[in-house]
Amino acid sequence: MLKLKNIEKNYYVGENVIKALRGVSLEFRKNEFVSILGPSGCGKTTLLNIIGGLDKYSKGDLIIDGHSTKSYNDYDWDSYRNHRIGFVFQTYNLIHHQSVLSNVELALTLSGISKSERKRRAIEALESVGLHDQIYKRPNQLSGGQMQRVAIARALVNNPDIILADEPTGALDSETSVQIMNILKEISKDKLIIMVTHNPDIASRFSTRIIRLLDGLVIDDSNPYESEVVEQKVQVKKDKKVKKKEVKHTSMNFFTALSLSLQNLFTKKGRTLLTAFAGSIGIIGISLVLALSNGFQTYIDKMQSDTMSAYPLTVEKYTFDTGALTSFQSSSGLVKYPTEEKVYIDRMYELFENSMIENEITDEYVDDVIKNIDSSLYNSIRYSYSVSVNVFKEVNYNDDIIYRKLNFNRWSEIATSTNQDPYDFFKSQYDLVGSNSKIPTSMNEIVLVLDSYNQIRGDYLQDIGIDLSDMEDGAIDFDKLIGQTYKMVLNNNLYTFDGTKFVNNVVEINPTDRINAISEEVYNSDNGNTIELEIVGIVRPNQQTELGAVDRGSIIAYTPELTNYVLNNSLSSEIITWMNEEENLYLNPFTGTTYFPESRKEELRNLNLGNLGGIKSISKIDIYSKDFDSKNQIKSYLDEYNKTKGEEAKNEYYQNLGITEETATVEQKREAEAIFKASGVQYTDLMELLASSLNTLVNAISIVLIVFTLLSLVVSSIMIGIITYISVLERTKEIGVLRSIGARKKDIARVFNAETLIIGLASGVMGITITALLSIPANIILTNLVEIDNLVLLDPIHAFILILISMGLTLIAGFIPSGIAARKDPVIALRTE
C-alpha cells in the first residue's frame, strides 16, 4: 500500500546542505501500528511529513498503491492528504475559534460532503472517541486528553487509510496517554498507524512494529515488510490519467471560507469593529458628498418640474443655437495670455453668425407636427403671432392728459388647456389674490401678474401705465389696480388713408423717452375698432410655480379670444384690403411708393403684412408639457421629425451633386451636415439649459470632493490589508492545520480574502448607516441656512455601489497578505507558536 524507495531529504541553509534523510527504504502493511523511534534530529518528523505529503522528498520515490508520486502536483498532494491521510499532532492543532464539531467536520467540507452527511459522520467520529457530549464546546473548554481525542476524531472522520501521529502523548499525563494509545491501538486493526515517539515503553507496549532511525538512516526494523506485488512501471502521462480517474481533488467552497473567517473575526470583536470603522471613514466621506450631490440634483429636478409652466418647450422663428458657443470654445484652442508672438483673428463674430437659427414655421409644420402631438402629453400649446398690437392708456404727462402707447412686451396670452374649462391650466399655476379678483373669461378682461412676494418692478408698472405717485409706503393697494382700463386700437382707427397712403395716427411726443400717443378722438372712438380692456383680477404663482410666472417679464395676461379678435379684424381692415389689391401689391402703404430696394420687395411686403395682421404668421409656439416624462416624449417626437427632414435634405444634396455620402469629400460632408441641421425646426428647452449648467457645476464640485475623499478610502483599505497580514501571522498554525487536512493554496487565500471581504462589507454598511444618521442633523441645519429641504439625500443605488466598492477595495488590499498565507510552508506553519 505504502512504500518508500531510497528517500532522501535535504535542507539548504545558505551554502550548507543538511541531510535529514539519507536513502530511507521502507514498506508498510495495510493495517499495522508502527512506531518510529530515535533521538531528536534523526529525521523522525521529517519522515512522517514526507509520508503525509506535507513535505517533499529530494530524491527517491514515494509509492502509493503501486503508483509513483514523482509526477504529483500540489493538487494531487492536497487530495492525498485529505482522502488518504489523517494527522494527529502532539499539540492537537485545533482551530480554537471553531467548535469541536466544526473542527472535525472541516476535512469532510474539503471533500465536498453535504452538510447533513458531514454532521452525521463527525458526530459518529466524536462518539467513537468518547466525546459525544462535548461537540458544541470550543477547544479551550476541553482538557488536553479531550483535545487529543478531537484531533483523533478529525483524523478518522474522512476514513483515511493512514493515520500519522506525531508524539500524540507528548503533552499528556501517563493515564491520559494510555487512553489515547488504546484508541490508536484499536484503530490500527483496520488502518495503518505510523507514530513518532520518544517513549520506547509506549512503543513496545502498543505498537506491532518498531523502526529506529539515526542520522537519517533506518538502523533497525523489528517487523520489516516487503510486498510480493510487482511495482507498476507507469509512464508519467499515463500515471496522471490514472490518478485523475481515481483521486478526487479537494475544494473549499466560499461559504466555508466565509464561515471560518467570520468565526475568527467574532473572537476579536473589538478589533474587528475598530477596523471596520476605520475603513468606513472613506465611505462616509464619499457617501456624504454623493448624498449632497444627489440632494442638489433632486432639488434641481424638482425645480425644473415645478417650473414646467414657466419654461415650456419653445419653437421660435428666430432662435439661438446654444451648442455653438460650447463647440467654438472647445475647438478654438485659445488660451489667455499666450506666450507666442503672434496676432490671432477674433472669430467670435462667426460664432454668432453660425449660432443664429431661422426656423420656418409653416402651416404644414403646425398642422402635421405640432397639432399631432399626443394631447395627453401637454397641458397647453400656445401660438404667438407676428402682428403688432397697439395698446394705449390715459395718463398724466407733464400736467397734461395724453393717451400714451404702452410697451406690449409686458403682455402675454394666457395658456389655455384642452379641458372642459380652458382656464384649468392657468388656475393650476396661479392663485387669485385680492377679495375682488377673478379669472378673465372674455376678451375685454385682463389680469395683473405678481411674483410670490406680491412684487412688480417699478419700470414694468410704468410700462403698463401705472402712476407710481399713487404708491403709499412703497406699495399700491389692490383696489387701485383692479378696474384700471386700457384701449386696444385696431388698424381702421390707427391708420387713416389720405388718398395715396396711410397715415399713422400715433404721434411722437418725446423721442428721447420714446413717448408716443394718439388723440382723444381716436382713443374714445366707439366704431368697433377700439377695444376697452379692464384689469379684473390679480394673480401670483402658487407654491408649485413660485420660481416664475408663465412669461418672465410679462405682468399682464389676456385671453386667447382677444388674440383671435385682433387677427380677424386685422385681416379685414382697410389697410390690408388696400395692400392686397392688384395694383398695390408692391406699394408701401405708408409711402404710397414701390418698396425699396426693389430686390427685397417681396420680403418687405410680407414683413408689413405680418406686422399689420394681414397674414397669420406664427412667430412662436410654446408647448407646456405635463411632466418630465411627457416633455422628453415630446422632444423625442420633434427630434424624429427633424431627423427625417434632415435625412431627406441631406440625401437630396448628395443626389444633386451626383455623389454618395461614402464618396463625398470632407467639405461636402460638412456642408451636408449643415443642411441636415438647418432643414428641421429647432426648439429650445430653456429649463434644461439652466438645469444642465447647474448639473455641470454640481458634478464638477462632487468629482473634486470625491477625489479627495477617495484618498482616505484608499488609505483605510491599505490599513485593512496590513491588519489582514497581522491576522495571517496570528493564524499561521491554522494555515498549517488546513493544509494538513488537504486545503489547497487557493483555499487558504480564499479564507483570508473572505475575511477582508467581510471587513469591507462591515465598513461599507457602517459607513452608509453613519451617513444616514448624519444626514438627519445635516438636513435640519441646511434647511435653516439655505431653506432647502432634504439637501443631503443618499441614493440607495449609490449606497449599494459604495458598499460594493468598499468590499472590492478591501478585497484588493487583502490580495498580498492572502497570497503570503497561501504560499506558507505547511510544515513550518505547524511548528509556529
Rounded to 10 degrees, the C-alpha dihedral 730/732/733/736 comes to 160
Question: What is the arithmetic mean of pLDDT over 151-174?
Answer: 90
Question: What is the arithmetic mean of pLDDT over 684-711?
Answer: 76
Query: What are the distances in angstroms from CA 370 to CA 1, 139, 383, 617, 678?
Result: 91, 81, 11, 15, 18
* pLDDT at residue 239, rounded to an integer: 46
Question: What is the arithmetic mean of pLDDT over 383-402?
Answer: 92
Band (629; pLDDT cuts 50, 70, 90): confident
The C-alpha atoms of residue 26 and residue 5 are separated, in whole angstroms, by 7
410 and 553 co-located in one domain: yes
* 21 found inside a domain: yes
290 and 424 co-located in one domain: no
Band (471; pLDDT cuts 50, 70, 90): confident
Range of the domain at 435: 390-572
* pLDDT at residue 146, rounded to an integer: 92
Higher pLDDT, 589 or 318: 589
Band (188; pLDDT cuts 50, 70, 90): very high
Q: Of 135-139, 574-578, 784-788, where does mean pLDDT reach its minimum? A: 784-788
Q: Give Cβ neighbours of residue 71 (< 8 Å, ≥ 6 apart).
A: 236, 239, 240
Band (237; pLDDT cuts 50, 70, 90): very low
58 and 185 co-located in one domain: yes
* pLDDT at residue 244, rounded to an integer: 42
pLDDT at 567 over 80: yes
Q: Indicate the residue type of 325.
A: L
Higher pLDDT, 778 or 318: 778
Yes or no: say if 740 and 87 are a contact pair by the CB < 8 Å rule: yes
* 685 found inside a domain: no
Residue of 612, 382, 620 whose CA lies nearest to 489: 612
The C-alpha atoms of residue 555 and residue 561 are separated, in whole angstroms, by 18
Question: What is the arithmetic mean of pLDDT over 224-242?
Answer: 56
272 and 342 co-located in one domain: no
* 501 found inside a domain: yes
Band (355; pLDDT cuts 50, 70, 90): low
Among the candidates 516, 550, 572, a domain finishes at 572
Query: What are the distances in angstroms from CA 108 to CA 92, 220, 250?
Result: 18, 37, 10
pLDDT at 216 over 50: yes
The C-alpha atoms of residue 282 and residue 764 are separated, in whole angstroms, by 9
Total domains present in the chain: 5
pTM score of the predicted model: 0.62
Question: What is the arithmetic mean of pLDDT over 71-98?
Answer: 89
Yes or no: say if 527 and 439 are a contact pair by the CB < 8 Å rule: no
241 and 262 co-located in one domain: no
* pLDDT at residue 242, rounded to an integer: 43
Higher pLDDT, 260 or 426: 426
Yes or no: say if 276 and 807 are a contact pair by the CB < 8 Å rule: no
Q: Of 60-64, 350-354, 707-711, where does mean pLDDT reach its minimum? A: 350-354
Helix (H, G, I), strand (E, B) or coil at 597: coil
230 and 129 co-located in one domain: yes
Band (245; pLDDT cuts 50, 70, 90): very low
Among the candidates 539, 572, 605, a domain finishes at 572
112 and 212 co-located in one domain: yes
* 646 found inside a domain: no
Q: Give Cβ neighbours of residue 471 (< 8 Å, ≥ 6 apart).
A: none
Helix (H, G, I), strand (E, B) or coil at 833: coil
232 and 283 co-located in one domain: no
Which of 128-132, 403-407, 700-704, 743-747 ranks highest by mean pLDDT?
A: 403-407
* pLDDT at residue 711, rounded to an integer: 81
Give the tens place of pLDDT for each residue, 436-455: 999 998 999 999 999 888 99
* 663 found inside a domain: no
Yes or no: say if 88 and 166 are a contact pair by the CB < 8 Å rule: yes
417 and 332 co-located in one domain: no
* pLDDT at residue 712, rounded to an integer: 79
718 and 778 co-located in one domain: yes
* 78 found inside a domain: yes
% of the chain exceeding 70 in pLDDT: 91
Q: Residue 525 CA to chain centroid, in angstroms?
A: 68
* pLDDT at residue 374, rounded to an integer: 94
HEC sequence for 486-534: EEEECHHHHEEECCCCEEECCEEEECCCCEEEECHHHHCCCCCCEEEEE
Yes or no: say if 696 and 731 are a contact pair by the CB < 8 Å rule: no
CATH of the domain at 107: 3.40.50.300
* 630 found inside a domain: no
pLDDT at 324 over 60: no
pLDDT at 231 over 60: no
Give the tens place of pLDDT for each residue, 530-541: 999 999 999 998
406 and 351 co-located in one domain: no
Question: What is the arithmetic mean of pLDDT over 332-345?
Answer: 74
298 and 194 co-located in one domain: no
pLDDT mean across residues, the chain: 86
φ, ψ for residue 246 (rounded to 5)? -90, -30
Band (165; pLDDT cuts 50, 70, 90): very high
Give the tens place of pLDDT for each residue, 493-536: 999 999 999 999 999 999 888 899 999 999 999 888 999 999 99
Helix (H, G, I), strand (E, B) or coil at 316: strand
The C-alpha atoms of residue 569 and residue 614 are separated, in whole angstroms, by 10
Band (550; pLDDT cuts 50, 70, 90): very low
Question: What is the arithmetic mean of pLDDT over 85-90?
Answer: 90
* 627 found inside a domain: no
Higher pLDDT, 512 or 487: 487
Yes or no: say if 565 and 531 are a contact pair by the CB < 8 Å rule: yes
Q: Kindly tell me the burial class for residue 118, based on how many C-beta atoms sit within 10 Å of its own C-beta (0-12, 13-18, 19 or more).
A: buried
